[in-house]
Amino acid sequence: RYISTFRPAVKRDAEKNKAQWKTMGPAKVAVPSPKKFLQKHSKEPKLPARKKEQDSKKLPALSVPRRTDHPVMGIQSKKNFINTNAVAAITGLPKKPQPIYVDRRQGDKYLLETSGLVPKYIKKKDYGVTPKYITQRNEEVKRAQKEYEDSILEHLKKRAMKRLSDEERRSLLQGLKKNWEEVYREFQCLSVEIDTIPKKLHKEKLELQMKQLEHDIEVIEKHKVIYIANE
């Protein structure tokens, strides 16, 4: 009869109890007690116990009536809903239909606004930005205004006020008095009887010239410092 050459090694392993650990876990395991069986809802999370303070708090006011509330009876409205609805229907504006589009001749209808076919200008990159031509126009207006102001300042500088010296003031005053004397001499040479229109006009002219000269002489004598514009 055939005898394996590994027979003594197998006997030796069996004597060392190695075969007990070749299973799915140790061979000798503590068996659970039959009294500790899995009960219903035993693995569900348990909430903490409710405190008494929360029970004593009042419930928040509800926007809907409670189940125990009773409706108020006996109240009648005097509003004529038929007439009000008829007036609203007559005077109201007709409702505009929503724009739609159809993908094919016998296809489904879709809203046109949310389809992307209608351009939405608020989604543009330059929405709300001032256009370039407006900024250029504003710059040109500012430049023209500045040039105008500079020209006015230059014109004013050219026509700056100049102070009369004492000699010029004296000579001007003497010239005015000399002119007044000449006009007065001419006025005295008029005839006593002025019976024609040319004589009356000439007399009025001489009187106006004398009044103007007297006013100028009085102003120059009153003000010792006089400024004139350079022209």
Boundary of a domain, candidates 108, 130, 160:
160
Question: Between β-strands 109-111 and 161-163, what pairing exists: parallel, antiparallel or unpaired?
Answer: unpaired
The residue type found at 106 is Q
Residues 6+ apart with CB under 8 A from 217: 173, 176, 177, 180
Query: Is residue 60 included in any domain, yes or no?
Result: no
Boundary of a domain, candidates 160, 195, 214:
160
Boundary of a domain, candidates 135, 160, 185:
160
Residues 153 and 195 placed together within one structural domain of the fold: no
Residue with tokens 């348990």: 46
- As a whole number of angstroms, the distance between CA 197 and CA 194 comes to 8
Residues 190 and 136 placed together within one structural domain of the fold: no
Q: How many residues does the chain have?
A: 231
Cβ-based neighbour number of residue 74 at 10 Å: 4
Whether residue 149 contacts residue 197, with contact meaning beta carbons closer than 8 Å, is answered with no
Residues 139 and 169 placed together within one structural domain of the fold: no
Residues 177 and 218 placed together within one structural domain of the fold: yes
Whole-number pLDDT of residue 136: 94
Alpha helices in the chain (DSSP H): 7-15, 52-56, 81-91, 132-158, 166-188, 197-222
Q: Chain-centre distance of CA 216, in angstroms?
A: 62
Whole-number pLDDT of residue 84: 92
Query: Is residue 105 included in any domain, yes or no?
Result: yes
Residues 171 and 156 placed together within one structural domain of the fold: no
Residue with tokens 């001749």: 105
Residue with tokens 């009000």: 84
Question: What is the extent of the structural domain holding 219?
Answer: 162-228
Give the number of domains in the chain.
2
Query: Which element (helix H / strand E) includes 109?
Result: strand 109-111
Query: Is residue 18 included in any domain, yes or no?
Result: no
- As a whole number of angstroms, the distance between CA 54 and CA 12 comes to 73
For the chain, the helix, strand and coil percentages under 3-state DSSP, each to the nearest 5: 45, 5, 50
Residues 104 and 146 placed together within one structural domain of the fold: yes
Query: Is residue 54 included in any domain, yes or no?
Result: no
Q: What does each of the 231 residues of the chain score in pLDDT, given as a tens digit?
A: 788 888 888 888 777 765 555 666 666 677 888 888 888 988 898 888 877 665 556 666 767 888 888 888 888 888 899 999 999 989 988 888 888 888 887 778 888 888 888 888 887 888 888 889 999 999 999 999 999 888 877 876 776 667 778 888 889 899 999 999 999 998 888 887 888 888 889 889 999 999 999 999 998 888 877 767 665
Residue with tokens 């205004």: 145
